[in-house]
Amino acid sequence: MKTFFPLLIFVGTFCLLAPAALAQDADAFEKGLKGVERRISKGQWDKAGKDLKSLLEKNARADYVYIEKPRILNNMERIALFSAHEPPKADEVLAAKVKKYDAESGEIEMTLYGEDLSDLMQSGDAFTMPVAFRDDYTLTMSGPKYPGSEGVTVVVGFDSDQMHRFFFGSVGYQPSVYLSENGARETLLDSADKEVMDSGEEFTLKVEVKKKKISTKANKKRLFSVKRADTDWGRAAFYGLADYEREGLEIEIKGALEPAWIAGKIDEQMQEKRELFEETYDAHRELPEWLFDESQVLGGDGEAAEASAGGLRGRAGASSKGSRSNNTKQVFREYPGDALGAQGERRFAEIRRMYYQDKYDFDALMEEVQEAEREEDIHAAGAAHLRMEIHLLYGQIEEAEESASKMVAHDESHLPSVVSHAELLTRLREYAASRTLLETAEERWPNSVEVVEAKMWLEIMTQHLEEAQELVQNAQRKGIRGKEIDRLRARIDKALSGPIWQKTYRFQSTHYDIRSDISEEICKEAADLLESAYTSYSVHLKRLRGLEKNKFRVFLFSGEASYQRYAEDSLGSEAENTAGLFSPWLKQLLIWNVPQREMMFRTIVHEGFHQYLDLVAPEAPRWFNEGMAEYMELYETIDGRFVEGQVNHDHVALLKERGVMPLRDFLRMPTAFYYQGDVGRNYAQGWAVMHFLRNGGHDKEKMFQDLFKGFSESPSIRRVIGEVFADVDMDQFEQEFLDHLNGLE
């Protein structure tokens, strides 16, 4: 005993110290990895690559390295991409010759050549700049032969509130200048006494646009000088060139353009380079081979991966405790309980088709389920599943949770039912109950990716993204492997690291964390706008606590191509025909640099409201959510204050043309159907209802506040609407709504 006792002490000490040493190594590795990522954010590609390879060499085959494999692969791919491909310059993406360009200010000096005017937008006889100017600018057009038969017209402030059209004359017509304000009919401001250009002769025309004045010259002689108001700069357009022999023609442009145009072209070309790069890129060539051999971590026989896949089967496998199906292989089913017969399966599928395709009537759908259960085509467990889905479709989260609870009572060994129940508790914001249920599920199904995903979503819903990432890491450490866990890891990593940009600008305001590959200035502008909107939410709706620590995340993309790529990679779906979106899953606001700056800022406000409401009332009906977002985006800044709620004349015109849906139906429209059918009308009517409630008098404003408070406190849409409109004469309410709408002309 005397000789053995010290040995026991030594072994015990070693066992205690080993995990601590391992933790220290893991902490050092994490610190080193963050150092690599800092170099990446600064565009120091060579140093980042060397540091990453050195870090892996020092920590070869450590299990904590394998856990971070997706992150390592992502970092290495980014390093390899930008080491091999610099983003193109403005001169490389334009047909024009670019002498000077500042990507942040938009200051540019470029020359367009008549042989290729593809940088301009052509429509009939008009060649138009694709983006507006943002400050003083000068246009100089020169060529060997003036097109005397047609003449040349230059439009300044195209598509702005104040548009000037300068006609430089043609055979038999003197030069003249016209003004159109707010889209009204043109008025003649001035004209020359005689023709100033000689047909077929060498010529130079110059238009100089300044804040208060526009000056023109023809062959170096002053022609017109007119005052202009300090309004939008607008775009420039050129007429008279479509049928003109343009060889030798040059158009020189000096001034400040909206940078979005060139940034978008650079982004598009960079994404093309990225796609070509990915076709040949092989991480095995860049990283040590041992990183791709996980046999030591998995135990060499793949049991963990196999068990992970088994966790998706819908019933407890061999690892579950106290399960009726411990040793029986089960076939996956969405609903719990025994399998339905052939007739039951047909009836089950038929009812689901009804509510996912074209049946809006809640009571009729519930009657179908009850009849199928009464006729014993579908057993009670299957009927509970159908009722849960119908309640969800109609925004009745509390009732859906009750049905899910019955599903679990029918068969506690049915994993999808347990997970559904937990997720509905999360949506009800009963986080403690959901967490308890999922911890119990994890004990029964320790290798289930579904349970991991539900726990991850719970953390995301409570704004704990770092905890969600750690949760997935721990699942990987326990040996859960496979495509599904990798998908979850990639999603949460995306949520925290953001898009793959060569350089990232960042600005943090009180409530917003904004990142972009455009400029720090655009981050600050977006932050100012979002903070102004948030102040309005806080005053008129509800102030949120704790945002100073868990700020709203916002990403501004320089072009549509990278925006689409990120949306597809992180959300698993395309975001076509959108200027921006809010992802409740990633808790991120994504906006791309639309060439029209005003449209971009309106999109920021629109999607920013979705981001705000996601924390306050995530289950609010779609007409309320989209209607308020449309209402907020029509803002004005008056004396430095954010003032929302301007009239959307396009929506008014659309509703007058197509008519409105009866409010009885519209206010109870299931979310799934909001984006079906006449989506444009749904958006317009959502805005109109919110404008009516917010601007229709004290009683309507109170109704709005009751709805907002109800949706904030209860996830049951049907119940809230029923309570708020319980004593409302809907016929009178409908007429008042139509009168309000007609009064907005």
Question: Does some domain include residue 514?
Answer: yes
Is the distance from CB of 211 to CB of 230 less than 8 angstroms?
yes
What is the spatial distance between Cα 220 and Cα 217, in angstroms, rounded to a whole number?
Answer: 6
CB 68 within 8 A of CB 26: no
| Domain containing residue 664: CATH number | 1.10.390
Q: Return the pLDDT at 19.
A: 53
Tell whether 652 is covered by a domain: yes
The residue length of the chain stands at 745
Amino acid 301: pLDDT: 38
3-state secondary structure of 7: helix
Query: Does 238 share its domain with 279?
Result: no
The pairing of beta strand 580-583 with beta strand 505-508? unpaired
The pLDDT assigned to 24 comes to 73
Residue 237 has pLDDT above 90, yes or no: yes
| C-alpha distance across the termini of the chain, in Å | 99
Q: What are phi and psi of 584, to 5 degrees?
A: -65, -25
We report the CATH number of the domain holding residue 152 as: 2.60.120.560
Please tell me whether residues 30 and 174 are part of one structural domain.
Answer: no
Task: Tell me how far CA of residue 119 lies from CA of 264, 408, 558, in angstroms.
Answer: 13, 62, 18
CA torsion through residues 547, 586, 434, 304, sign: negative
Query: Angle at Cα 136 formed by Cα 166 and Cα 557, nearest 5°?
Result: 115
Q: Residues of 588-606 as b/e, b for ≥16 C-beta within 10 angstroms?
A: bbbbbbbbbbeebbbbbbb
Q: Is residue 573 pLDDT above 50, yes or no?
A: yes
- Locate 730 and state its tokens: 């809907």
- Rounded distance between C-alpha atoms, residue 266 and residue 270, angstroms: 6
Residue 383 pLDDT greater than 70, yes or no:
yes
pLDDT at 538: 87
Percentage of the chain beyond pLDDT 70 is 91
Distance, CA of 271 to chain centre: 18
Q: Which residues contact 665 (CB under 8 A, 6 or more apart)?
A: 360
Phi, psi of 113 (to 5 degrees): -110, 140
- As a whole number, mean pLDDT of residues 435-450 equals 95
Tell me, yes or no, whether 609 lies in a domain. Answer: no
Helix, coil or strand: residue 699: helix
Mean pLDDT of 183-197: 90
pLDDT of residue 547: 79
pLDDT at res. 22? 55
Q: Output the average pLDDT for the chain.
A: 86
Residue carrying the six token digits 């694709």 = 130
Range of 8's domain? 4-87+274-293
Lowest mean pLDDT among 165-169, 175-179, 637-641: 637-641
Residue 737 within a domain: yes
- My answer on whether 516 and 551 are in the same domain is yes
Q: Please determine, for residue 330, whether its predicted confidence score (pLDDT) is greater than 50.
A: no
Question: Of 328-332, 510-514, 662-666, where does mean pLDDT reach its minimum?
Answer: 328-332
Residues contacting 548, CB < 8 A, separation 6+: 510, 511
One-character DSSP codes across 573-603: S--TT-SEEEETTTTEEEEE--SSHHHHHHH
**Tens of pLDDT along 601-636?**
899 999 999 999 999 999 899 999 999 999 999 888
For the cut 60, the answer to whether the pLDDT of residue 719 exceeds it is yes
* CA–CA distance, 515 with 266 (Å, rounded to integer): 18
3-class SS of residue 554: strand
67 with 179, same domain: the answer is: no
- pTM for this predicted structure: 0.79
CB atoms within 10 A of CB 21: 10
What DSSP string describes 400-459?
HHHHHHHHHHH-TTBHHHHHHHHHHHHHTT-HHHHHHHHHHHHHH-TT-HHHHHHHHHHH
DSSP secondary structure letter of residue 199: T
pLDDT digits (tens, 9 = 90+) for 77-124: 999 999 999 889 999 999 999 999 998 889 999 999 999 999 999 988
The number of distinct structural domains making up the chain is 5
Q: Work out whether the CA dihedral 703, 705, 708, 711 comes out positive or negative.
A: negative
Residue 402 belongs to a domain with what CATH number?
A: 1.25.40.10
pLDDT at 361 over 70: yes
- Asked if residue 68 belongs to a domain, the reply is yes
681 alpha-carbon distance from chain centroid: 22
Same domain, 371 and 393: yes
The pair of three-digit structure tokens given for residue 238, joined into one six-digit string: 């050129």
- Give percent helix, percent strand, percent coil of the chain, each to the nearest 5: 50, 15, 35
524/386 same-domain check = no
Q: Which residues contact 272 (CB under 8 A, 6 or more apart)?
A: 561
* Beta bridge pairs of residue 138: 208, 254
Q: Are residues 427 and 521 in the same domain?
A: no
- pLDDT beyond 50 at 272: yes
Q: Please indicate, yes or no, whether residues 229 and 305 belong to a single structural domain of this protein.
A: no
Write down the pLDDT at residue 519. Answer: 87
Distance of alpha carbon 184 from alpha carbon 205, whole angstroms? 27
Same domain, 68 and 168: no
Q: Which residues pair with 255 in a beta bridge?
A: 108, 137
DSSP class of 729 = -
Model pLDDT, residue 64: 87
Establish if 239 belongs to a structural domain: yes
Does 262 fall in a domain? no
Q: State whether 351 and 421 are in the same domain.
A: yes
Contacts of 221 (CB under 8 A, 6+ apart): 196
Residue 390's Cβ-count burial label (10 Å; 0-12, 13-18, 19+) is buried
SS3 of residue 92 by DSSP: helix
Of 531, 557, 591, the one marking the end of a domain is 591
Residue 147: per-residue pLDDT: 87
**Calpha distance 574→572 (Å, rounded):** 7
Phi, psi (degrees; rounded to nearest 5) at 618: -65, -20
Task: State the Cα torsion 368-372-378-382 to the nearest 10°.
Answer: 20
Looking only at the bridges linking them, the beta strands covering 250-257 and 107-113 are: antiparallel
DSSP β-ladder status, 126-128 and 187-191: unpaired
Residues 575 and 485 reside in one and the same domain:
no
Q: Which whole number is the average pLDDT over 322-340?
A: 58
pLDDT at residue 71, rounded to an integer: 87
Q: Is residue 211 part of a domain?
A: yes
Spatial contact of 649 and 691, defined as CB atoms under 8 Å apart: no
For the domain that residue 542 is a member of, what is the CATH number?
A: 3.40.30.160
In the predicted model, is pLDDT for residue 405 greater than 60? yes
Interatomic CA distance for residues 538 and 615, integer angstroms: 13
User: What 8-state DSSP symbol labels residue 321?
Assistant: S
Within this chain, do residues 331 and 477 fall inside the same structural domain, yes or no? yes
Q: Which two tokens stand for residue 24?
A: 């220290």
Q: For residue 277, what pLDDT is reported?
A: 95
> Quick check: 312 pLDDT over 50?
no
